[in-house]
Chains A and B, each alone.
Chain A
Amino acid sequence: MSIEEQYRTRAKELLSGGAVKMVIGYGKGSNAKRRRPIFISSADEVDRLVLDDACITNLSGYLVSEGLLSDEKRVAVFLRPEGIRAINILAAESQLDAEQIVIFGFDVAGNEIKALKGINVEEFSDVIDSIKEGAPEAAEEELFEKIEKMSPQERFSFWQEEFAKCIKCYACRQACPMCYCRRCIVDSNQPQWVNTSSHTLGNFEWNIVRAFHLSGRCVECGNCDRACPVNIPLRLINHRMAEEVLGAFDHFAGTSKTQEPVLASFKKDDSETFIL
């Protein structure tokens, strides 16, 4: 039985027995290459669930939709390892109760779908440890290295050109499971802390604020990068910040649901090489 069929069967059991009230998964999209998030509440509909190598979007952000978990019922969700890390962070930051989340874990290697064993977030710690040790994708690494080798001026010009494309649609924020604030700082307008204008300064303000805010929290699922309609390589910024946090604080985001948020906790032996 394929993993897709196994998970459909599991979804059917969970829904018909009332163990979960909803399954958040992937369904067919508007063309053969696309998959879209779907929300299944009835056992009769599980055949709409699809699982293949086009299932990329990290669905964990839907779990913190207003009111979804407030009835304390359980919700099942299809997650890749990055999504599972996101559950740990959301739990650690008190945004959800991990007990309410039933995980349909999977990973994609080439065109192959691999099921990840487990149901509760604690059961996936081996998988998470293995990504910590893993190497990033080659294509991404190449551009990343190229930017690393640039002088600060060249790097600034690179990002200036990229941010010039930003239209402040906030797709990066809305697609991000870590951007769960009910009211984002840029939407606070009494006073208006951050310029809403999409000019050079405003675009820098937005993208830099977001980079810092995600430091030590980003799981590098790539939702922001893929959502960006003007193709700004946002993933590179987050990857750079993740490396920085790993080097400075030995913190890899999302290893457990009790992991203390790195920038909201303090240890006596934290390195103090800079003042921000």
Chain B
Amino acid sequence: MTKILFSDKLDNCVERWKSAGLTVIGPVQRANISTYAAVEHAAELDFGLVLPDRSIKDLFFPQSEPMLRYTIKKESIDTDECLPPSGPRIIFGARPCDASGMAIDDPLFGWDYKDEYWFQRRNETVIVTIACTKADDFCMCTSLKMAPDSTKGSDIMLRPLAGNKGWLVEELTDRGREAFKTIADILQESSDPAAPLAVVEKKFDLDACVAWLQNPENFESRFWKEISMRCIGCASCTYLCPTCHCFDIQDEGDTYTGIRRKNWDSCSFALFTMHTSGHNPRSTQSARWRQRIMHKFNYFPGKFSVNSCSGCGRCSRQCPVDMGITETLQEISKLSL
């Protein structure tokens, strides 16, 4: 016997969580795009998506975040620190690749400096993940040694029942248990079986790819130029990626007063590494694409023992020129045979 949350009871749960002061967030379709956003009612949530166009990263690391306001006076500079708006939240219906993406970035944001913006939001958010029963051509979690029901980064894992009737509930963390205490009486005991999980084909041999990337001889390989020739150098892949975390700090304002912001930045842009002198150590798009792959599968795991990729496939799914991590690692797999 397992606890079950029936779909027709979800609106009661949303009400319950809202009354308990939680902001309820979930997958929605709005203005011709699917994303995770705050909702008032369960009916607004869309569980039919393979995964939303946008990842949950934005909820922890927004694209533009005010850090401080400043006023420059004759003798002094006044600063007023901006912290993110506080308040408990529950994300209902994250995908396993999105939830694990946040866990992948935790060590990065807590490494030499503890990023308060990230951790305040992380600590105040319960992630309720729904295992995937369908996948598309671009899903690649299994290639990353994950699965359509990976629990990494989730506080609660829900496994869909056959016929979209509801979900089997698995409580994973204290934060998850706490949030589900509020709805304990709504859950029912049942022995209904879970719907079969999505079948996600394995597309490349990750270990072989990592070994190839770690071999210093391959850093200058012609492969990088060939694979990235059609890359147009936009940041679509980076900005949709649940784990890409690079940012730039910008002061916006006039000479005397302004606001310091933390804005997303991308290694795809030439400006990312441009020196003041005009010299650019990554002067070509192939060097930039190599950096993106090396960072995710060589440098990041070298430092944090985890790949900086959760296999969501958004980079390939949305690429204007049909590139992406999948193709690159597939080709590297072939090279390393």
Contacts and interface: CB of A to CB of B under 8 A. Distances in A.
Interface of A: 29-31, 34-39, 57, 61-62, 161-162, 164-165, 167-171, 173-175, 187, 189, 192, 195-199, 202, 223, 226-227, 229-231, 233
B235 interface: yes
Contacts of A168: 63, 235, 239, 264
Given A39-B230, A197-B250, A231-B32, 12 more contacts: A167-B235, A168-B239, A169-B238, A171-B320, A175-B232, A187-B269, A195-B252, A196-B248, A196-B250, A196-B263, A227-B234, A227-B236
A161 B238 CA distance: 23
A204 to B, nearest CB: 13
A167 B264 contact: yes
Contacts of B264: 167-168, 198
B54 A30 contact: no
Interface string B298-328: 0000000000000000001010111110110
Contacts of A165: 31, 33
Contacts of A57: 320-321
A230 B239 CA distance: 11
A229 B240 contact: yes
Contacts, number: 99
B322 A229 contact: no
Contact of A197 (B235, B238, B261): B261
A143 to B, nearest CB: 10
A161 B33 CA distance: 11
The residue in B252, B263, B322 that gathers the most chain A C-beta atoms within 10 A of its C-beta is B322
Nearest to A35: B322
Q: For A36, A162, A223, which residue has the most chain B Cβ atoms within 10 angstroms? A: A36
A34 B234 contact: no
Given A168-B63, A198-B263, A173 B322 contact: no
Interface in B243-280: 248, 250, 252, 261, 263-264, 266, 269-271
18 contacts: A30-B137, A30-B322, A35-B322, A36-B323, A37-B230, A168-B264, A169-B238, A171-B232, A171-B234, A171-B235, A174-B233, A174-B234, A187-B270, A196-B248, A197-B64, A197-B263, A229-B236, A230-B53
Contacts of A226: 320
B138 interface: yes
Nearest to B326: A30
Interface residues of B, number: 38
Interface string B42-66: 0000000000011000000001100
A57 B232 CA distance: 12
Chain B interface mostly: loop
Given A29-B322, A175-B234, A175-B320, A167 B63 contact: yes
A71 to B, nearest CB: 17
B229 interface: yes
A223 B31 CA distance: 20
Q: Please provide the 8 A-B residue pairs with the shortest distance between their CB atoms, ordered closest to farther.
A: A227-B320, A171-B234, A36-B322, A174-B234, A169-B235, A174-B232, A197-B64, A37-B230
A164 B235 CA distance: 17
A230 B33 contact: yes
Contacts of A164: 31
B91 to A, nearest CB: 19
B137 A36 contact: no
- Of the listed residues A62, A189, A230, the one surrounded by the most CB atoms of chain B closer than 10 A to its CB is A230
Given A197-B252, A229-B240, A170 B235 contact: yes
Nearest to A192: B250
A167 B268 CA distance: 14
Contacts of A187: 269-271
A259 to B, nearest CB: 26
A192 B240 CA distance: 25
Interface in B171-207: none
Nearest to B137: A31
A185 to B, nearest CB: 12
Contact of A37 (B53, B235, B321): B321
A57 B32 CA distance: 21
B239 A167 contact: yes
A165 B191 CA distance: 43
Nearest to A37: B230
A36 B234 contact: no
A199 B64 contact: yes
Contacts of B63: 167-168, 198
Nearest to A169: B235
B250 A173 contact: no
B31 A161 contact: yes
Interface in B207-247: 229-230, 232-236, 238-240
